[in-house]
Chain A
Amino acid sequence: MIETDRLTRRYGHLTAVDALSIRAEPGQVLGLLGPNGAGKSTAMRMIAGFLAPTSGTARVCGHDVQREPLAARRALGYLPEGAPSYGEMTVREFLVFIARMRKLTTEVGRRRFDEVVGWLQLEDVLEVCIDTLSKGLRRRVGLAQAILHDPPVLMLDEPTDGLDPNQKHTVRQLIDAMARERTILISTHLLEEVHALCNRVVIIANGRLQADATPAELEARSRYHGAVSFSAPGSGVSQEMLGRLPQVAAIEVDPLDGRITVFPKPGARILEPVETLLREQGLEVSEIQLERGRLDEVFRQITLRGEA
């Protein structure tokens, strides 16, 4: 479990994190979302104990990170931003060093080492210097380091940043597999990641909490939530006619591909009426879609409001 209570960090006059209170429970993947410079990394550094909070508290598994730093750090696996590691060491040396720092016994250490190396497919590079590894492999070494001691709480700062789509997929599968009984906090500025991974999202901008909701709830805030879009090539669909439907609030036509989006009035459901209308008019529709809402739009709306 991770809890923060009015966690605040100031650098001189600049407030990087402003009274941030969040809570992540076991079984949860909490996504910390925000534009670059919003304070995501600073918040994580305070939870990990690398930076001291100016005020407020953070607790990992009930251990205050300031008062019981070692107990909190033992319960936490942390991947810092950029996945730093000792470049002159081989992957094996590095992981053995981490195992020693974590006081894993030889037996437990060896078992976990084999497991983790297997999960992250690091077998072939064990004897290679970390300096010479690709970015994706280095990120995987960083992940291996974070999960080596099987921590109940995992905190990953931009775990898939700079990875190619295949590597992202692998890392996401891994996080998903670990999520069941653990508390996982990831920071990201990639919205696709929220869909793929998180069951709750905290959006921060300028160090302040702007939203704390499930991805579905966020999507429901979108203008596009419940809208119906369709392509009807070659047919002169009458916008006028659609506009006459009582449930419809607005209609937009994409100037590039001619795709038509129909927006509902608040609370109205318009898929059926629109379909009926189209059928009655005998119009050919190649494809029709009910929109769930667009996270990128909600994200922009929330974070720009926060910056204003």
Chain B
Amino acid sequence: MSPFFAIMRRELRSFFVTPMAWVFLVIFLVLAGILTFYTGDFYERGQADLQPFFVVHPWLYLILVPAVTMRMWAEEAKGGTLELLLTLPATLWQAMLGKFLAAWLFIGLALALTFPIWLTVNYLGAPDNGVIFAGYLGSWLMAGSFVAIGACLSALTRSQVVAFVLTATVCVLLILAGQPQVLDFFSGALPRKLVNALAYLSMLRHFEAIARGVLDLRDLAYFVLSTLGWLLAGVLLLELKRVR
């Protein structure tokens, strides 16, 4: 077995030995349900789709992804196991990808466990299941970007609390970047091109397109590239720690 799989398996197992994983799953499912029905007006809209469900996902990830990723490297640095892990014959990329994939699969599991809401909407009406599938895919891709941000920022510090706060801050900035209020605020001060670039960085904008069922290559590329970019930054950060 390659070191990559060994690390991924160890990480996945470490989620479930503490009650944290179960607490996370329950909170995620309960919040997803409540927000969809109460703030998303799931019934009142009278439409057989999952738009109100997907709209709340960025906000759910904002709290829950940092909780999953904060310990990823910070705990190893604090407990001294980082020295053990990084002197085993594995590259930084293998370690980073193993850890990333474990957390991403875990979020994927949480996402998959929301299937009753998909059953519900199919029972109540005749939704376009292609759009719903695209929504799930987009949501998982967005979660990947969040996890990559968390993985990178967890490598920055020995403190899990600091890792959580940093990750949540960066994520909220990326969610809000495309909101009209934010863009209006900057449009006075910045040239138009920069404002447009800022809007393009917004997670929400790309996610909403996918969630509507529009699988544009640019939106997919945005998530894949931002995920890889943050992972690369994380690897460089670990390398920098070795040198400095």
Contacts and interface: CB of A to CB of B under 8 A. Distances in A.
Interface string B50-66: 00000000000000000
Contact of A103 (B1, B17, B83): B1
Contacts of A86: 10, 14, 81
Contacts of B14: 86, 88-89
B5 A73 contact: no
A118 interface: no
A81 B84 CA distance: 10
Nearest to A45: B83
Contacts of A81: 80
A87 B6 CA distance: 17
A93 B242 CA distance: 28
Nearest to A71: B89
Contact of A84 (B6, B7, B13, B80): B80
A51 B86 CA distance: 10
Nearest to B239: A52
B180 interface: no
Contact of A97 (B6, B86, B91): B6
A73 B242 contact: no
A102 B89 contact: yes
B46 interface: no
A78 B89 CA distance: 11
Contacts of A52: 242-243
A111 interface: no
A98 interface: yes
Interface in B1-25: 1-3, 5-7, 9-10, 13-14, 17-18
B242 A85 contact: no
Contacts of A76: 87
B176 to A, nearest CB: 36
Contact of B80 (A80, A100, A101): A80
A292 interface: no
Nearest to B5: A100
Contact of B87 (A73, A82, A100, A103): A73
A24 B89 CA distance: 22
A145 B18 CA distance: 24
Contacts of A93: 13
Nearest to A155: B87
Interface string A57-91: 00000000000001001101010111011111100
A49 interface: yes
A128 to B, nearest CB: 14
B3 A82 contact: no
A144 B106 CA distance: 31
Given A87-B79, A102-B88, 6 more contacts: A50-B242, A81-B80, A97-B9, A98-B88, A100-B1, A100-B6
18 contacts: A48-B87, A49-B86, A50-B242, A52-B243, A70-B89, A80-B83, A84-B83, A84-B84, A85-B81, A85-B84, A86-B14, A88-B18, A98-B88, A100-B1, A101-B6, A101-B90, A102-B89, A103-B2
7 closest A-B pairs (Cβ-Cβ)? A84-B80, A100-B6, A73-B89, A48-B87, A80-B83, A52-B243, A101-B88
